[in-house]
Structure 1
């Protein structure tokens, strides 16, 4: 099944969902996953393997990190070649002074925002979705 491409439908139907817990970005230079670490995202870079893991897992594995995030999934099935969803979300959050790290999966987009402001991010995105749906 292909994903949605229409920007108004994407924004209006994004249904942001905040996952429980706190998440961190860590890196392992040798590319080996530490025992007990179950990443939800990995990115291979020349400097090492970036992992996004639960903060508790990073602490238990002795992984260094500096950014603690909340994880939000946009529940709309966006097409990988859809245009504008990331920009609309990033603009909304940037206006409120919130950083946002976006990772796209096959079905959904995932946002990592400052942990202590994750609930605000969800509220802002829900408001954006409601505005888009009203003008659809």
Structure 2
């Protein structure tokens, strides 16, 4: 993995290298401390909000705890090591997918950004992001 931090907008987009992880993953939320404890080490993400604790879970874990699994999501990992204070990558990704009519939920983690899209749109989303990356590569020269 290239650990060089990229901060400049066009460079982040040109270097994003989207990789598909088909999942499926499910966005869930609970206030039940037993479920939180049971899922914490298996969840792809755990966050604390005033309404509860959102979790991103795999299908077996979501189903085991009775969560709704009506919206399976795939994850696209942006392999670029973007700076936490970098400006424009999330906007570029969201607008690229919006132009294709694809909803997305972006989780900006420490090393990479993770873009969750409806599983049935994952291939189109990946193609659109790769196209946007190629465009940025040309812009970067």
TM-score if structure 1 supplies the norm length? 0.92
Tell me what 1:60 maps to: 64
Structure 1 match to 2:138? 134
Task: Please name the residue that 1:15 is paired with.
Answer: 17
- Superposed, which structure 2 residues align to 1:9-48 within 5 Å? 9-32=11-34, 33=36, 35=38, 38-48=42-52
Residue 42 of structure 1: CA displacement?
A: 1.1
Contact 2:76 2:116 in 1 (8 A): yes
Give the aligned partner of residue 103 of structure 1.
107
In the TM superposition, residue 30 of structure 1 has moved relative to its aligned partner by: 2.5
Q: Which runs of 5+ in 2 are unaligned?
A: none
Query: Could you list the runs of 5+ residues in structure 1 that have no partner in the other structure?
Result: none
Give structure 1 regions of 4+ aligned residues with deviation exceeding 4 angstroms. Answer: none
Do 1:14 and 1:75's aligned partners in 2 also have CA atoms closer than 8 Å?
Answer: yes
The Cα shift of 1:61 comes to: 2.1
Candidates 80, 93, 115, aligned match of 2:97: 93
Alignment TM-score, normalising by the size of structure 2: 0.88
Alpha-carbon distance in structure 2 between the residues aligned to 1:115 and 1:3: 30
**How far, CA to CA, are the matches of 2:22 and 2:67 in structure 1?**
20
Deviation at 1:67, TM superposition (A): 2.7
1:6 to 8, 11, 17: 8
> Which region of structure 1 is more displaced relative to structure 2, 89-98 or 39-48?
39-48
Shift of 1:119: 1.2
